[in-house]
């Protein structure tokens, strides 16, 4: 029997509360035994509208960040019509969820069978590549189709980002000329794409990358129809508070306008984290305290993969009424499995009097932690509840409030 993977926010509809509750404290008061995922559709909708209205080009959601059909439907309903898919599984899922969506297969190394199914069965016409071998594979799989948009992935620096994506994919700029020339001959539309890394902390990441794009275009002397700046758009976490996203958009737009490209060229982006991070959080219970170490019932094999493996810090709050007035103290977490690697160093700042039986909300888990969740050791929960309160941190709430305050009422 086939069983779908259940990512955070991907719980079957039967587990999602029919009626929203106001917030995390209501969940804690119910004293759940297992972790509870909280989803905020309004936060994802707001992020989608922000990108649709403010990014100076086309925004397509990077599905790998959170492959939730419910989330994808929310993004679609709020103006995201294009989706960056990285596997045939993602192609099938998005095609099933929003059949009218445009899918772009942006993984640079694909199985030939996946390319063929994507093209002939699901109508995919956009593919990325970073080698002549991949170009040959795409052409064979699509039977030398004449309606392809081929995006050559250029290797760029990840020096301005928290997580590098500079080593696995991308053709070096000095080696791009023959690939760009060959792809131009095969493509109906030629694109150049890149990825500056995850959680880019300055707009300079994109302007630097665009300079490499400029050099590659001049060297190859080809007409380019699409510039895809990829992902990397940040969200806000403790110790990682980025500048406003509008500054990123302005920087990208200026660089795009200065490139030697087709007069009708399109500008694309692939936001993932920035569209979904605020969508989800999780409520966990403290099972044991050992000094500054808290044993909680979710962890590295659940929603907190990044906290364990790359020392990502997420916002946390103690769910207790009345609220604790004790000064905050730095804690680390242990997850519920038997593995010593199930450890999140943090530090996570919580009131110093936190104890076993307390509940904690861990925020900004809509991206990546969601897609990484497993049921290792038999731990995990599909319980998902829609809540109406604001995310613990938001790049969009203040923008929305400012826009509302500028409305003139007659």
Assessment of whether the complete model's pTM goes beyond 0.85: yes
Residues 6+ apart with CB under 8 A from 160: 196, 197, 200, 201, 202, 204, 205, 208
In this structure, which topology does domain 56-270 adopt according to CATH? TIM Barrel (3.20.20)
- Asked whether residue 265 carries a pLDDT value surpassing 50, the answer given is yes
- Domain borders along the chain are 13-40+279-386, 56-270
Q: What digits encode the pLDDT tens for the residues 104-160?
A: 999 999 999 999 999 999 999 999 999 999 999 999 999 999 999 999 999 998 888
Rounded to whole angstroms, the Cα distance separating 201 from 398 reads: 19
- Kindly calculate the radius of gyration of the chain based on its CA atoms and give it in whole angstroms: 22
Q: What is the DSSP string of 109-159?
A: S--HHHHHHHHHHH---EEEESSHHHHHHHHHHTTS-SS-EEEEEBP---T
Q: Look at residue 405 in the predicted model and tell me its pLDDT.
A: 58
Instruction: Report, as an integer, the average pLDDT of 332-336.
Output: 96
If one compares 265 and 374, the residue with the highest pLDDT of the two is 265
Query: Whole-angstrom Cα distance, residue 397 to residue 390?
Result: 8
CA-closest candidate to residue 338, choices 307, 303, 379: 379
Residue 20 scores a pLDDT above 90: no
CATH class of domain segment(s) 13-40+279-386: mainly beta
């Amino acid at each position: 029997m086939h069983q779908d993977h259940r990512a955070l926010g991907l719980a079957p509809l039967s587990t999602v509360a029919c009626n929203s509750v106001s917030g995390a404290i209501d969940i804690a008061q119910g004293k759940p035994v297992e972790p509870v995922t909280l989803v905020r559709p309004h936060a994802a909708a707001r992020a989608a509208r922000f990108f649709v209205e403010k990014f100076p080009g086309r925004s397509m959601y990077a599905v790998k960040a959170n492959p939730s059909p419910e989330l994808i439907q929310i993004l679609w309903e709020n103006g995201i019509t294009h989706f960056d898919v990285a596997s045939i599984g993602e192609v099938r899922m998005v095609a099933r969820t929003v059949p009218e969506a445009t899918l772009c297969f942006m993984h640079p190394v694909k199985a030939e069978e996946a390319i063929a199914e994507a093209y002939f069965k699901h109508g995919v016409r956009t593919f990325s590549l970073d080698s002549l071998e991949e170009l040959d594979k795409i052409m064979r799989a699509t039977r030398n189709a004449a309606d392809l948009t081929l995006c050559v992935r250029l290797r760029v620096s990840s020096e301005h980002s928290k997580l590098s994506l500079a080593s696995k994919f991308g053709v070096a700029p000095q080696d791009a000329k023959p690939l760009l020339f060959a792809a131009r001959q095969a493509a109906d539309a030629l694109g150049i794409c890149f990825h500056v890394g995850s959680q880019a902390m300055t707009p300079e990441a994109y302007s630097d990358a665009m300079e490499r794009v400029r050099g590659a275009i001049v060297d190859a002397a080809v007409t380019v129809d699409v510039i895809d700046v990829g992902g990397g758009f940040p969200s806000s976490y403790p110790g990682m508070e980025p500048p406003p996203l509008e500054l990123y958009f302005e920087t990208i737009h200026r660089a795009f306008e200065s490139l030697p490209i087709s007069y009708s060229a399109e500008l694309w982006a692939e936001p993932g984290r920035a569209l979904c991070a605020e969508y989800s959080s999780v409520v966990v219970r403290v099972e044991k305290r050992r000094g500054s170490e808290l044993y909680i019932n979710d962890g590295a094999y659940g929603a907190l993969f990044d906290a364990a493996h790359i020392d990502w810090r997420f916002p946390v709050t103690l769910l207790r009424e009345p609220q604790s007035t004790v000064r905050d103290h730095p804690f680390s977490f242990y997850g519920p499995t038997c593995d010593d690697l199930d450890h999140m160093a943090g530090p996570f700042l919580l009131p110093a009097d936190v104890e076993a039986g307390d509940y904690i909300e861990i925020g900004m888990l809509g991206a990546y932690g969601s897609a990484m969740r497993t049921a290792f050791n038999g731990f995990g929960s599909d319980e998902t509840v829609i809540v109406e309160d604001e995310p613990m941190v938001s790049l969009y709430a203040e923008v929305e409030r400012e826009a509302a305050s500028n409305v003139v009422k007659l």
